[in-house]
A and B are shown apart, each in its own frame.
Chain A
Amino acid sequence: MGDRGVRGAIVIAIALVLTVLSAMKFAPPGPEELDVYPSSSISRVAKLSEYNTALEGTAGDTLVLIYEGAEPGGAMLVVGGAHPDEPAGTVAALILAENVVLTQGKLIVIPYANASGFTHNLPQEGHPSDYTLQTPSGDRTIKYGSRLTNPVHQWPDPTVYVERVSHQKLAGTEARNLNRAYPGVEKGSLTERVAYAITQLIIDEGIDVSIDLHESSPEYPVNNAIVAHERAFDVAAISTLDLEMEGVQINIEPSPPTLRGLSHREWGDNTDTLALLLESPNPAQGRLRGVTDAELVVGGVDPMYIRASERGRLYVPYTDEGTPLAMRAGRHLASVQAIAAAYSMMAPHRAIDICGLPSYCDVLENGAGAYLNPNQ
């Protein structure tokens, strides 16, 4: 072997070592890392694949927590983690699942809706792979993922993603966005299968009210908001009265009929449920953010956003206090309770009575971690 051959062999050996080390770091973790400790009100822990068998054994299968009250009533679905880089949705769903006491009706919680999305981060976003919250029983580390399904599980992307309902065209990567895939396809791509399973769950379980928990960047106009399908507008409007009394200012935004594939549009159009989506301001996913780390995810303070706010570039109030995770998750929790109460008032025979949850002020004061792991 000549000099060139030796050099080539050395380069290939180094590349192999780097590949193996990288693969160890980036290999998708197993589903056991997505933990949840359901409250004592739990009736059944199911898997999403029960609603679409094409999901069985895939990275898209995820936990479905079903709570049933002693009294019959209506049914509510709360979905967190559709976008795993929007942590308030995940944390609010976890607090709900781990503390809820249900006296009437049925509640179904999916805390990690896009389980595959929790197994990676988007390149060039510099996001942390997890963040840690202090709980009464010690530190709890929660995965911080990507808004898209892991390409290890669904690849390649099409050049252009043609959404299935009205053939709307989106950038190819959006084919891995769960909240552009509804109502889903039974045997479609992994993301479409997950979307189909959730839509099917809404139909099979007779869900009256469905809430999708999200976040958006502070420079995004739809923020601190409830996005409501036209049939869900009344329940959204009544719930805002409760929220304002609790000190939570929130806007109601209509679900645009032309924007397809989103939960608030397709759940409402393809099932009988009242479809709503909640947004809170997350600086860690914005394009103006400064240093990107777990501290930003949890603390929510970013000097770049303070500067942008001072120049009037944001759609939400953003002061030196920032928008901490506790505040954002607290807003979602308060909104879920207010929506349940509003629906129960509008349809008393289908009431859903949710108790046992901390108030917005409690979460703000004690932090989100204070209400995690009570049953560990």
Chain B
Amino acid sequence: MPRPSCGRVMLVLAQLITFICMIGTFLLLAAALKLPAALATAGAATVGLAVSGNIGSLYHLIEGAFGYFDVILIIAMAMVFMAALEAAGILEEISYRITRRLGDKPLLLSLASMLLVMLPGMLTGSSTAAAMTTGRFVLPVLVGAGIAPARAGAFVALGSIIGMIAPPVNVPVMIIGSGIDMPYVGFDLPLLFLALPAAVAVSIWAAAGAKKDRPGKKPGAGSAPFVPASDVERISGIKVFIPILALVVMMFAVRLSNGSIPDPGIPFMFAVGALLAMVCGRRIKLWDTVVRGIGMAMPVMGVLVGAGMFVQVMTLTGVRGLLVTSALDIPRAWIFVAAAVALPVFGAISAYASSSVMGVPILLALLGNNEIVTAAALSMLASIGDLLPPIAIVPSLISQSSGEGTDYRSALLRQATVPILLLVLWAFAVLKWAPAIGKLL
């Protein structure tokens, strides 16, 4: 039985009320009652179900919660890996060595660090993998070189996103492409065109910060918190690099094998890395390390579970459709602006979800605008969402694992605000002039 057309306005009104109730509940629980963001999003989703008359279908909450299951596994094992490296003393040893070599050459250090941070993202298409592997290594190095912790954290977060966008693997582009049956072919140059200037600019910004943040202090001579207390605690030789090298080699091997080596998955690679850390550094207690790693991952994993429920209820109740349709309900010229706003904002829940939900319809609305360059630019806009609150998954993970305290995430985000805006502007420019850029490439 088709719905009566006279009810169109009422339906839109009902969807608006549902959305307002969900957002209101989230704010009430998170801001007023100070509940964790995970519980606030889950509560908001439950209220959305109730207001829309679907409270009998609680299974939607469970189904939605599984939307980010694979990402949650990556985060859990990445945190266990980091906890193992930290407990084994590997993190501080590598940071110490790099700082000693490059600590007084800030630009060279930040360019090398950017390449290191980007590498896992380039190989896996995951900003989380980048932030939690090489990203976590360079963070204390940059701090030791005289860059303020907040700026160093912002550098790692931005580098992780740029790595996620850079070729050869860009998962958001693959998701957008699969929505319109566009093969992942011919994207290398457009993605490099997007990522390279961004990487260089962020590196220069970080290097400039090294002098600005510690005026009058010789870079590299700072009292870096990771400097080992005594030679007894130092780990000698090259074995200190084995866990991280093994991780990068596994990622490379899987990517270069073109499917001939089965992909064991990023969580497995992190688990292998964690086990290697146990034999390459100081003796550590396995159970305690796992508990510490999972404990660090728990708030972010919880938020993703809540966000999954939230998105499921938005879709079920038509709120998602209302938002997407409204974003497209404008003249074509304004769609570029809508993309620059809607993709990062929706990406704040999940970059992958934003690529699918917003990226595909926007690309369809922009057919004829050089689809390859357009999809590349849209993937950058969606990926930037990984930096934005409320979830701000990459800054949250860096903050959780850094031990810098509760205000660190906010300080990091404040530092990153201007670079994020510049990245959005850059992606917007590429999107707007995609046909000309396509000809150039």
A299 and B325 in contact (CB under 8 A), knowing A159-B263, A306-B8?
no
Instruction: Please tell me if the beta carbons of B3 and A299 are within 8 angstroms of each other in the complex.
Output: yes
Instruction: Please tell me if the beta carbons of A304 and B322 are within 8 angstroms of each other in the complex.
Output: yes
Contacts of B266 in A (CB 8 A): 159
Interface stretch (choices B55-63, B295-303, B336-344, B406-414): B55-63
A26 and B59 in contact (CB under 8 A), knowing A123-B66, A159-B169, A258-B185?
yes
Interface of A is mostly: loop
Instruction: Please tell me if the beta carbons of B324 and A288 are within 8 angstroms of each other in the complex.
Output: yes
* Interface flags, B235-254, vs A, CB<8A=1, else 0: 00000000000000000001
- Closest A residue to B355 by CB, please name it: A171
A268 within 8 A of B: no
Beta-carbon contacts under 8 Å, A215-237 to B? 219-222
B315 within 8 A of A: yes
Instruction: Please tell me if the beta carbons of A287 and B184 are within 8 angstroms of each other in the complex.
Output: no
Instruction: Please tell me if the beta carbons of A322 and B316 are within 8 angstroms of each other in the complex.
Output: no
Interface stretch (choices A84-92, A100-108, A289-297): A289-297
Interface of B is mostly: helix
Instruction: Please tell me if the beta carbons of A124 and B11 are within 8 angstroms of each other in the complex.
Output: no
Our pick among A220, A300, A320 for the contact of B180 (Cβ within 8 Å) is A220
Contacts of B258 in A (CB 8 A): 162, 167
- Closest B residue to A156 by CB, please name it: B265
Instruction: Please tell me if the beta carbons of B63 and A170 are within 8 angstroms of each other in the complex.
Output: no
Instruction: Please tell me if the beta carbons of B357 and A164 are within 8 angstroms of each other in the complex.
Output: no
* Interface flags, B284-325, vs A, CB<8A=1, else 0: 000000000000000000000000100111011110111011
Our pick among A159, A295, A300 for the contact of B125 (Cβ within 8 Å) is A159
Beta-carbon contacts under 8 Å, B196-234 to A? none
Q: How far is the CA of A24 from the CA of B185 in the complex (A)?
A: 43
Contacts of A308 in B (CB 8 A): 325, 328-329
Instruction: Please tell me if the beta carbons of A26 and B63 are within 8 angstroms of each other in the complex.
Output: yes
Q: How far is the CA of A300 from the CA of B177 in the complex (A)?
A: 26
A259 and B181 in contact (CB under 8 A), knowing A159-B169, A171-B175, A288-B361?
yes
* Interface flags, A118-157, vs B, CB<8A=1, else 0: 0001011110000000000000000000000000000011
Contacts of A187 in B (CB 8 A): none
A313 and B315 in contact (CB under 8 A), knowing A171-B174, A289-B321, A290-B321?
no
Beta-carbon contacts under 8 Å, B70-88 to A? 70
Instruction: Please tell me if the beta carbons of B322 and A124 are within 8 angstroms of each other in the complex.
Output: no
- Closest B residue to A300 by CB, please name it: B2
Instruction: Please tell me if the beta carbons of A157 and B353 are within 8 angstroms of each other in the complex.
Output: no
Contacts of A289 in B (CB 8 A): 318, 321
Our pick among A25, A121, A260, A307 for the contact of B329 (Cβ within 8 Å) is A307
A288 and B325 in contact (CB under 8 A), knowing A124-B308, A168-B184?
yes
B126 within 8 A of A: yes
Contacts of A259 in B (CB 8 A): 181, 183
A174 within 8 A of B: yes
CB of A49 to closest CB in B, whole Å = 24
Instruction: Please tell me if the beta carbons of B12 and A303 are within 8 angstroms of each other in the complex.
Output: yes
Our pick among A22, A163, A299 for the contact of B2 (Cβ within 8 Å) is A299
A160 and B174 in contact (CB under 8 A), knowing A124-B353, A288-B324, A307-B325?
yes
Best-surrounded residue of B177, B312, B313 (most CB of chain A within 10 A): B312
Q: How far is the CA of A258 from the CA of B360 in the complex (A)?
A: 20
Our pick among A126, A156, A220, A304 for the contact of B316 (Cβ within 8 Å) is A126
B367 within 8 A of A: yes
Contacts of A169 in B (CB 8 A): 169, 174, 184
B356 within 8 A of A: yes
Instruction: Please tell me if the beta carbons of B308 and A303 are within 8 angstroms of each other in the complex.
Output: no
Contacts of B1 in A (CB 8 A): 295, 299
Q: How far is the CA of A164 from the CA of B324 in the complex (A)?
A: 35
Best-surrounded residue of B7, B318, B322 (most CB of chain A within 10 A): B318
B431 within 8 A of A: no
Q: How far is the CA of A312 from the CA of B56 in the complex (A)?
A: 37
* Interface flags, A303-328, vs B, CB<8A=1, else 0: 11011100101000000111010000
Instruction: Please tell me if the beta carbons of B361 and A160 are within 8 angstroms of each other in the complex.
Output: no
A292 and B318 in contact (CB under 8 A), knowing A124-B353, A159-B126?
yes
Contacts of B175 in A (CB 8 A): 171
Contacts of B126 in A (CB 8 A): 159
* Interface flags, B373-386, vs A, CB<8A=1, else 0: 00000000000000
Contacts of A156 in B (CB 8 A): 70, 265, 267
A-B CB contacts (within 8 Å), total count = 167
B15 within 8 A of A: yes
Q: How far is the CA of A293 from the CA of B267 in the complex (A)?
A: 35
Instruction: Please tell me if the beta carbons of A260 and B63 are within 8 angstroms of each other in the complex.
Output: no
Instruction: Please tell me if the beta carbons of A292 and B316 are within 8 angstroms of each other in the complex.
Output: yes
Contacts of B329 in A (CB 8 A): 307-308, 311
A172 within 8 A of B: yes
A278 within 8 A of B: no
Q: How far is the CA of A163 from the CA of B124 in the complex (A)?
A: 17
Contacts of A174 in B (CB 8 A): 174, 178
A75 within 8 A of B: no
A301 within 8 A of B: yes
Instruction: Please tell me if the beta carbons of A164 and B263 are within 8 angstroms of each other in the complex.
Output: no
A158 within 8 A of B: yes
- Closest A residue to B364 by CB, please name it: A219
Contacts of B313 in A (CB 8 A): 126
B171 within 8 A of A: yes
Instruction: Please tell me if the beta carbons of A287 and B361 are within 8 angstroms of each other in the complex.
Output: yes
B435 within 8 A of A: no
B405 within 8 A of A: no
Q: How far is the CA of A322 from the CA of B364 in the complex (A)?
A: 20
Contacts of A320 in B (CB 8 A): 5
Best-surrounded residue of A25, A156, A290, A306 (most CB of chain B within 10 A): A290
Contacts of B178 in A (CB 8 A): 170-171, 174
Instruction: Please tell me if the beta carbons of A311 and B316 are within 8 angstroms of each other in the complex.
Output: no
Beta-carbon contacts under 8 Å, B345-363 to A? 353, 356-357, 360-361
Q: How far is the CA of A229 from the CA of B255 in the complex (A)?
A: 31
Q: How far is the CA of A211 from the CA of B245 in the complex (A)?
A: 49
Q: How far is the CA of A287 from the CA of B180 in the complex (A)?
A: 12
CB of B188 to closest CB in A, whole Å = 11
CB of B378 to closest CB in A, whole Å = 13
Instruction: Please tell me if the beta carbons of B318 and A304 are within 8 angstroms of each other in the complex.
Output: yes
Contacts of B259 in A (CB 8 A): 162-164, 167
Q: How far is the CA of A164 from the CA of B262 in the complex (A)?
A: 12
- Closest A residue to B74 by CB, please name it: A159
Q: How far is the CA of A18 from the CA of B185 in the complex (A)?
A: 44
Instruction: Please tell me if the beta carbons of A124 and B64 are within 8 angstroms of each other in the complex.
Output: yes
Chain B interfacial positions (CB closer than 8 Å to A): 1-3, 5, 7-8, 11-12, 15, 59-60, 62-67, 69-70, 124-126, 169, 171, 174-175, 177-181, 183-185, 254-255, 258-259, 262-263, 265-267, 308, 311-313, 315-318, 320-322, 324-325, 328-329, 353, 356-357, 360-361, 364-365, 367
> Could you name 15 residue pairs across A and B whose Cβ atoms are closer than 8 Å?
A123-B312, A124-B311, A126-B64, A126-B312, A159-B169, A160-B125, A169-B184, A174-B174, A259-B181, A290-B318, A292-B316, A303-B8, A304-B318, A304-B322, A313-B328
New contact pairs (4) apart from A170-B178, A290-B15, CB-CB < 8 Å: A167-B259, A170-B183, A287-B356, A290-B11
The 9 A-B pairs with the shortest beta carbon distances in the complex, nearest first, are: A126-B316, A290-B318, A158-B263, A162-B259, A123-B67, A126-B315, A171-B174, A301-B2, A291-B318
